[in-house]
Amino acid sequence: MSELLQRLPSPFLSREGAARSKLSKCSMTPGKKLEGLVAAAITPMTPDGQINLSVIHQYVDYLVREQNVKNIFVNGTTGEGLSLSIQERKQLAEEWVRQGKDKLDHVIIHVGALSLPESQDLARHAAAIGASGIAVIAPFFFKPTNKDELVAFLQKVASEAPGVPFYYYHIPPLTGVKIRVEELLDGIREQIPTFQGVKFSDTDLLDLAQCINKNGSEQFAFLYGVDEQLLGALAVGVNGAVGSTYNYLGRKTKLMLQAFAKPDLALAQKYQFLIGEFLNFVIKLGFGVAQTKAVMTFVSGIPMGPPRPPLVNASEEFIAKAKAKLDSIVWPDGD
């Protein structure tokens, strides 16, 4: 139970607070380092655009059994987190923690928001329900202009969940915040004691490599977020990856990780090239969150539903072409 809930006399616990107290016992594998593949969770929605919690249990089972993926990143970019209400984000976080109990190793909840109080509220909630970790994106309307401003914002969020591992979500192509992570990490544990690592969603492998080279002794987790370039990031020493393709290509990507670890670079390259061949194909058709939902739906059989406006549904033409392309790929393992 969170420190906040412990301080409240029991008569004053709201119904929501009691539910959170119960959920807080549903934590994932304690003390296990976050590494390997982390699926960036899609947010299932009903045809009328409401979040669809009823399929999360099926989603968890699919990831574990079919994709061999046991870590999840909730309410991030792929999950349309910043298009959801605070209440929706809390409901999704609670359901992933509940359904992931004894099945998933890590449920990381993205709690970033443009509003600091909202982000702090989400951080407290994630702690109360027993999330494995929290992550925060840089504010991107009124932006921090230097390291000190960014760290100060992150610290104010992390301090609301003092017992929960904290990760910075670095995605400058979307935020426009281009403060180098190498610079950000200098002395960060002194200001954020719970800091555990970075979700690095950028193509700047020089910055990434310097982060790993300079901070290896800290044992931070460096999780790469550009799926089509994962093999290059492995070569400079990342611990794992967070991405949307691990929802439906997780097993293939794990085979690439295994080949790299052997090491069998030629086999690892085959997997990376084939994953890239599919992504290159769909990117040319127009590939984003809506299209990811469509691909996940036809691969898994779980209805992911429409995206939230202003995004629009993937076209039937896209679905047909993407399915045909994926079916045409001959993988090294024979599938």
Mean pLDDT rounded to a whole number for the chain: 92
Show binding-site residues: 78, 242
pLDDT at 243 over 60: yes
- Is pLDDT of 7 > 60? no
What's the average model confidence in pLDDT over 114-119?
Answer: 97
Q: Where in the sequence numbering do the catalytic residues fall?
A: 169, 199
What separation in angstroms does the CA of 139 have from each of 108, 112, 132, 168?
Answer: 19, 8, 23, 12
- d(CA 317, CA 244) in angstroms, rounded, equals 21
Whole-number Cα distances in Å, 150 to 8, 78, 132, 181: 32, 23, 23, 11
Q: What is the pLDDT of residue 162?
A: 96
pLDDT value of residue 33: 83
pTM here? 0.91
Q: How many residues does the chain have?
A: 335
Task: Please provide residue 269's backbone torsions phi and psi, each rounded to the nearest 5 degrees.
Answer: -65, -40
Distances in Å between the alpha carbon of 200 and those of 54, 67, 102, 196? 31, 22, 28, 13
In angstroms, the CA 290 to CA 333 distance is 29
Asked if 28 contacts 132 with a C-beta cutoff of 8 angstroms, the reply is yes
Taken in order of first residue, the domains within the chain and their CATH numbers are 3-250 (3.20.20.70)
pLDDT tens readout for residues 49-94: 999 999 999 999 999 999 999 999 999 999 999 999 999 999 999 9
Q: How far is CA 326 from CA 175, 275, 286, 320, 334, in A?
A: 31, 9, 16, 10, 14
Phi first, then psi: give them for residue 199, nearest 5 degrees: -90, 105
Whole-angstrom distance, CA of residue 250 vs CA of residue 64: 10
Distances in Å between the Cα of 276 and the Cα atoms of 201, 230, 279, 319, 325 are 16, 10, 5, 18, 12
Chain CA centroid to CA 22, Å? 24
Q: What is the pLDDT of residues 140-154, one digit of tens each?
A: 999 999 999 999 999
Contact 149, 156 (CB under 8 A): no
Percent of the chain's residues with pLDDT above 90? 88
Q: Which pLDDT belongs to residue 28?
A: 53
Range 3-28 average pLDDT: 40
The answer to whether residues 273 and 300 touch, using CB atoms and an 8 Å cutoff, is no
pLDDT at 13: 33
Question: Is 196:165 a contact under the CB 8 Å cutoff?
Answer: yes
pLDDT at position 3 over 50: no
How does pLDDT run across 213-235, given as a tens digit for each residue?
999 878 899 999 999 999 999 99
pLDDT tens digits, residue range 28-55?
Answer: 555 678 999 999 999 999 999 999 999 9
Confidence at residue 217, expressed as pLDDT on a 0 to 100 scale = 79
d(CA 297, CA 7): 44
Which residues are documented as binding site for pyruvate? Answer: 78, 242
Residue whose C-alpha is closest to residue 105's, from 209, 196, 197, 33: 33
